[in-house]
């Protein structure tokens, strides 16, 4: 994992008492989500809670995900990291959206490989939530293909009703 630079005063948030237990699979937070929902071309990402403020996710890179022939599209890989870092909110129960996402591409990711992503919350300062993740090829201890850092900004639930279609009827309950 990259060394994460945190601003002075950032602290680790508390793991919410209702957060999924370590090892537990996280629910799909929205059935049409490109990352974890049942969208035919989506990532169909499966994510389980780790210890503390960590998550472990994985998805199979398919023909739907190509940029160059036989290789995953970089923007699509960034999407997978956005999804994983966003889902960290299920551990803290802080509703937040991506403000900034920085992705380092270190190795090509071929079609038919499985990308394993470990994500963690690094700290919180005010409304800013600092997160990072590493993606490895074909095994949880496989070669590092990508690393990423995300800054999430805490928002009120009105963010989703004001800018989107609200949360009514959605099959997620913890964090939009
Ligand atoms: C379970 C869920 C899984 C979901 C996974 C997917 C998650 C997503 O993809 S969310 C969708 C993508 N993101 C978005 O659509 C967000 C769009 N942006 C926005 O709505 C707004 O810009 C928003 C809410 C992030 C910030 O706006 P606003 O609430 O007015 O806050 P604002 O006052 O500008 O910023 C708050 C703080 O964050 C900082 N900040 C905001 N954006 C950034 C940024 N890009 N870079 C650095 N700092 C930033 C500000 O500097 C400020 O810092 P400080 O408190 O120190 O002054």
ipTM (interface pTM) = 0.96
- The residues lining ligand 1, judged by C-beta closer than 6 Å to any ligand atom, are 29, 82-83, 86-87, 89-90, 97-100, 126-128, 151, 153, 155, 175
Identify which has the larger pLDDT, 141 or 30: 141
Task: Output the pLDDT for position 2.
Answer: 62
Alpha-carbon distance of 159 to 170, in angstroms, equals 15
Structure tokens, 165: 């279609």
In the predicted structure, residue 121 carries a pLDDT above the cut 60? yes
User: What pLDDT score was predicted for residue 162?
Assistant: 84
b/e per residue, 106-134, with b = 16+ CB within 10 A? Answer: eeebeeebebbbbbbbbbbeeebbbbbbb
Pocket test for ligand 1, best of 39, 97, 158 (most atoms within 8 A of CB): 97
> What does the pLDDT read at residue 161?
85
Q: For residues 152 and 99, what is the distance between their CA atoms, to the nearest angstrom? A: 5
Query: What's the 139 CA to ligand 1 centre distance in angstroms?
Result: 32
Helix H or strand E segment including 77: helix 74-87
pLDDT, mean over the chain:
92
Provide mean pLDDT across the span 5-33.
94
Tell me the pLDDT band of 30, cut-offs 50, 70 and 90. Answer: confident
Residue 112 appears among annotated catalytic residues: no
Domains detected in the chain: 46-163 (3.10.129.10)
Tokens matching residue 50: 């780790």
Query: What is d(CA 155, CA 94) in angstroms, rounded to the nearest whole number?
Result: 8
Instruction: Please state the rounded mean pLDDT for residues 123-146.
Output: 98
The answer to whether the CB of 165 falls within 8 A of the CB of 25 is no
Span from the CA of 97 to the centroid of ligand 1 (angstroms): 6
**What does the DSSP 8-state code read for residue 16?**
P
Measured CA to CA, the distance from residue 21 to residue 4 in angstroms comes to: 26
Q: Give which of 26, 50, 24 is closest to 119, Cα–Cα.
A: 50
Integer angstrom CA distances of residue 77 from 59, 100, 106, 127:
10, 15, 12, 26
The pLDDT confidence band at residue 168, using thresholds 50, 70 and 90, is: low
Average pLDDT over residues 32-52: 94
């Amino acid at each position: 994992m990259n060394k994460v630079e945190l601003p002075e005063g950032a602290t680790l948030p508390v793991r919410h008492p209702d957060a999924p237990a370590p090892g537990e699979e996280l629910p799909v937070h929205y059935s049409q989500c490109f990352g974890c929902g049942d969208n035919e071309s989506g990532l169909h990402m499966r994510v389980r809670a780790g210890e503390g403020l960590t998550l472990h996710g994985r998805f199979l890179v398919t023909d739907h995900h190509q940029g160059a022939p036989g290789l995953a599209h970089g923007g699509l890989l960034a999407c997978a990291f956005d999804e994983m870092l966003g889902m960290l909110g299920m551990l803290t129960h802080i509703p937040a959206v991506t403000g900034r996402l920085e992705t380092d591409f270190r190795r090509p990711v071929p079609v038919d490989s499985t990308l394993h992503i470990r994500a963690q919350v690094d700290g919180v300062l005010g409304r800013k939530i600092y997160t990072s993740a590493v993606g490895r090829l074909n095994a949880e201890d496989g070669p590092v293909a990508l690393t990423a850092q995300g800054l999430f900004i805490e928002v009120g639930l009105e963010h989703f009703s004001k800018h989107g279609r609200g949360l009514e009827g959605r099959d997620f309950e913890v964090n939009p």
